[in-house]
Amino acid sequence: MTTDFGATRAMFDLPAGVIYLDGNSLGPLPRTAPAAMERVLRAEWGAQLITAWNRAGWMDQPRRLGDRIGRLIGAAEGSVTVGDTLSIKVWQALAAALALRPDRRVILSDSGNFPSDLYMADGLARLMARGHALRVVPPEDVAQAIDASVAVVMLTEVDYRTGRLHDMADLTARAHAAGALTVWDLAHSAGALPVDLAGAGADFAAGCTYKYLNGGPGAPGFLYVRPDHAGAEAALQGWLGHAAPFAFEPGYRPAPGVARMRVGTPPVLQMAVLEAALDVWEGVDMADLRARSIALSEAFRARLARDCPRLALASPADPARRGSQLSFRHPQGYAVMQALIATGVIGDFRAPDLLRFGFTPLYLSMDEVERAADILARLIRDGSWDRAEFHRRAAVT
């Protein structure tokens, strides 16, 4: 397949004058999403009321959307469910994995992991009160730290700050060789690069849909359970993960397979938007996406290395070792980013000093990436970022 990136770009509504390098944090609006939302509001909720749970297929959304996401991450049909948030899905995956290794007590993660994942692991370990400990090592030390005490290796494949890419297949194989299981966070992987969960033998994986999958602010998370772990314990025993939710039994019986990882009522409106967003992927080949993502980020990197050598790259220079983002260190990174955003080039800032840029081939052109690099280099050279207004901190960076 040869992906037509001109066609995918036409499927997004981007404001004029903006170069959007933050699709790694919040993807832009797919053109068909407002009509999809309107249809669900009026023709389904409005016209069908509660009967839409059956007639409009609302109850099947978590599985239907899960299968569509599954195709982008190398997951078999029926092994992914959609709902809740990524943080919740990480918690569920970890709880299920720990229950499969009852004699072990160590959750191994790395210092590049997203704080919410670490908080969830720490909180779960304390709640279990059975002596579980979260061991956090530097990303480059994970492989050596996998030993026979480790129950679960819990990692984010692409580091949210630096973009550094873990070798999922290698670390999963090492975990398995040591008798441990893996939980992969795909927040910066799903829709960003090819992922092969089945090929890697990953045990559990979770992700979100508002970043590279463009499901909109508040879009739900997803959870993958390797089919042979389908009998894993569902620690959050919500009624929609029950084998027969509408039998309203007083006791919990888990639904077969990944459906037991559903918790409560699905966010139907949000899923309608996500469903429209997933249409964009129909003609996209992930290998094409990866090649173009690398071409875009390399163009940005090369231009800044030439025109702004003082700006320190915080990401791996080798594109094969990073996801679909680049980060740079600048002591006044926050103000530089605000000044850049004021020109219409949108990236984001991550404390303490990172300028972060996402490269999203579905809607970014080479010309835009080069122009964005030129604007950033000029701002840094002429010092025009150093104005009081750009130093004022907002709640979301």
Ligand X SMILES: *Cc1c(COP(=O)(O)O)cnc(C)c1O
Q: Which residues bind ligand X (CB under 6 A)?
A: 85-87, 114, 116-117, 156, 160, 185, 187-188, 208, 221
Query: Exactly one of 5, 104, 356, 359 is catalytic; which is it?
Result: 356
Classify 349 as helix, strand or coil: strand
Nearest approach in angstroms of CB 184 to ligand X is: 10
Nearest approach in angstroms of CB 114 to ligand X is: 3
Give yes or no: 185 in active site: yes
Nearest approach in angstroms of CB 89 to ligand X is: 8
Q: Which residues contact 267 (CB under 8 A, 6 or more apart)?
A: 83, 218, 220
Q: Which residues contact 44 (CB under 8 A, 6 or more apart)?
A: 52, 55, 56, 58
Classify 342 in phi/psi space as left (phi over 0), alpha (psi -120 to 50) or beta. alpha
Burial of residue 139, with CB atoms counted within 10 A of its CB: 0-12 exposed, 13-18 middle, 19 or more buried: middle
Query: Exactly one of 210, 212, 357, 359 is catalytic; which is it?
Result: 210
Of 334, 342, 319, 291, the residue nearest 163 (C-alpha): 319
Residue with Cβ nearer ligand X (206 or 379): 206
To 10 degrees, what angle do helices 366-382 and 333-342 make?
120
- Strand positions, DSSP E, the chain: 12-13, 19-20, 29-30, 80-83, 106-110, 133-137, 150-156, 181-185, 204-208, 221-225, 312-313, 325-329, 345-346, 348-350, 354-358
ω before 62 within 30° of 0 (cis)? no
Nearest approach in angstroms of CB 314 to ligand X is: 16
Residue with Cβ nearer ligand X (247 or 351): 351
Query: Exactly one of 68, 211, 303, 350 is catalytic; which is it?
Result: 211
According to DSSP, residue 223 is labeled E
Q: How do beta strands 133-137 and 106-110 pair? A: parallel
Query: Exactly one of 114, 204, 300, 334 is catalytic; which is it?
Result: 114
Residue with Cβ nearer ligand X (152 or 339): 152
Nearest approach in angstroms of CB 380 to ligand X is: 27
Token pair in block for residue 318: 């080798």
Nearest approach in angstroms of CB 159 to ligand X is: 8
- Please state, in angstroms and rounded to a whole number, the distance separating the CA atoms of residues 171 and 153: 9
Residue with Cβ nearer ligand X (86 or 152): 86
- Please state, in angstroms and rounded to a whole number, the distance separating the CA atoms of residues 354 and 326: 10
- Please state, in angstroms and rounded to a whole number, the distance separating the CA atoms of residues 254 and 232: 10
- The string over 222-253, giving b where at least 16 C-beta atoms fall within 10 Å of a residue's C-beta and e elsewhere, is bbbbbeebbebebbbebebbbeeeeeeeeeee
Residue with Cβ nearer ligand X (73 or 311): 73
Give yes or no: 89 in active site: no
Query: Exactly one of 84, 117, 185, 203 is catalytic; which is it?
Result: 185
Residue with Cβ nearer ligand X (58 or 114): 114
Give yes or no: 211 in active site: yes
Residue with Cβ nearer ligand X (185 or 275): 185
Active centre residues (catalytic): 114, 185, 210-211, 356
